[in-house]
Amino acid sequence: MKTERWSVDKNVDNNKKYPQIDEAATFLQKNEVVAFPTETVYGLGANAKSDEAVAKIFAAKGRPVDNPLIVHISSTSQLDDLVAAIPEKSMKLMNAFWPGPLTLIFPKKQGAVSDYVTAGLDTVAVRMPDHPVALALISASGLPIAAPSANRSGKPSPTTADHVAKDLEGKIAGIVDGGPTGVGVESTVIDCTGTTPIILRPGGVSKEDIEFVIDHVEMDTTLKNKEQKPKSPGMKYKHYAPAAPLFLVEGEPNWLQSLVNEKRNEGLKVGVMASSENASYYEADLILDCGSRNNLSEVAHSLYYSLRAFDDAQLDIIFSETFPETGVGVAIMNRLDKAAGHNWIRQKI
C-alpha cells in the first residue's frame, strides 16, 4: 500500500479550506486509515462508525481487539449522536478542558459507533483534541474519528510524522504532517459514569487540575482483574517500550552509574535517560537529557522522542532515572513503568 503524506502548517486557519486536509478527509470517508497530529501524540484515525475502517486500525497497529479506542470529535454537537447521557461532572470537565488532552467516558448510544471501538463495552471514550490540524481534519470528514496513537502496538507513541512513517509506512493510507506535537504524553482518561469519578489513565491534565473543577477524584492506574475488559487504552498490555530492555532506577546518580559500569564491563551497549540536573554526571554509550525535574512538562514533551532515539542507537540495555509523581509526573511515571514492563531497580540504603 502506498502511504500518502500531506504537509500542513500546524497553525491552520479553520475558517479556510486546505486541499491537503480535504484530500485526507476524503480518505477517511472512504474508510481508510489516516494518521494526524494532536496536541498530545500523533493519532491513527478512522471512521468510528465503520467496522471495516476500525478493523484497519487494529491491523496496522497489531493491536489486540479487546482494547477500546478513543473517539475524537471537533464539536460538542457530535456528542448527540454518540452518547446516551452526559453526567453533570463530565459537563463541567468539558467546559474546563475541551478542547484539550482530556478523554471522558460516557454511556454510549447503541449503534452509534462500531463495536470494535468500544471493545463490546456499554461505554464510549471521547475527546476533543486541542490541535488546529486535528480539528480541521475531523470537521472536514464529517465523522467521529476513532484514533489510538499512531505506532505499532507496544512501541513508543509517535510525536512526529517521521515516527509514524517509521512504524506504519505501507500499512496505512496516509499521514498528515503537522510538525512535532506538544504535550508529548497521551490524554488523561476519566470515568464520571459512576458515583466517584475515576482517572483510568493519567495524562496531559493532572489530577490536581481536575479536582480544582469537580473536587475529589480517585486514581485507578492498574487493571487488577486480568480478565476484565479495560475501559481505557493502556490499561492491559505492555506499552511504550523501546527495543532494548528498560529498567527504572530509584537511587543516587553514582549508584545508577555503577549499574552502567557493570553492564559496559560485560561488553553491553548502555543508554541512560536522565534529567537535566544529572545528565552531565553519567558516562554511557548514549545519554539523553529529557528535561528538568523542576519542569515536568518538559520531560513529558520529550519522553517518547527519547525512547525512540534509544532504538536508533541499537542499545543492549537502558537505565532511566525516575521522576516526581506530581502533576504530569504521574503520567510520566505511568508511561515509563509500562515501557519498562514494571522492572525497577531500587538502591538499598
Model pLDDT, residue 221: 54
Residue ranges covered by each domain of the chain: 4-219, 246-346
Model pLDDT, residue 222: 58
Distance CA 239, CA 337 (A): 9
Model pLDDT, residue 153: 85
Q: Is 335 annotated as a binding residue?
A: no
Angle between the N-to-C axes of helices 296-312 and 329-339, in degrees from 0 to 180, rounded to the nearest 10: 20
Q: Is 147 annotated as a binding residue?
A: yes
Q: Is 181 annotated as a binding residue?
A: no
Q: Is 123 annotated as a binding residue?
A: yes
Q: Is 127 annotated as a binding residue?
A: yes
Model pLDDT, residue 227: 47
Question: Is 107:122 a contact under the CB 8 Å cutoff?
Answer: yes
Q: Is 187 annotated as a binding residue?
A: yes
**DSSP E strand stretches across the chain:** 4-7, 34-37, 42-47, 70-72, 102-107, 123-127, 145-146, 174-177, 188-191, 198-201, 218-219, 246-250, 270-274, 286-289, 317-321, 344-346
Q: Is 67 annotated as a binding residue?
A: yes
Question: In CATH terms, is domain 246-346 a member of 3.40.50.11540?
Answer: no
Closest by CA to 11, choosing from 132, 159, 175, is: 132
Grid cell of 242 as nine digits? 523501546
Cα-Cα-Cα-Cα torsion 19, 99, 202, 46, nearest 10 degrees, comes to -30
Q: Beta-carbon neighbour count of residue 257 at 10 Å?
A: 18
Model pLDDT, residue 226: 43
Model pLDDT, residue 155: 87
Q: Rounded to two decimals, what is the model's pTM?
A: 0.92
Please calculate the CA angle 169-103-163 and round it to the nearest 5 degrees: 20
Q: Is 72 annotated as a binding residue?
A: yes
Please calculate the CA angle 89-91-95 and round it to the nearest 5 degrees: 120
Distance CA 311, CA 319 (A): 13
Q: Is 237 annotated as a binding residue?
A: no
Q: Beta-carbon neighbour count of residue 341 at 10 Å?
A: 12
Which residues of the chain carry a pLDDT beneath 70? 221-239
Asked if residue 242 has a cis previous peptide bond (ω within 30° of 0), the answer is no
Burial 301-320 (b: 16+ CB within 10 A, else e): bbbbbbbbbbbeeebbbbbb
Q: Which CATH superfamily is domain 4-219 in?
A: DHBP synthase (3.90.870.10)
Model pLDDT, residue 168: 97
Cα-Cα-Cα-Cα torsion 114, 116, 122, 127, nearest 10 degrees, comes to -80
Model pLDDT, residue 236: 52
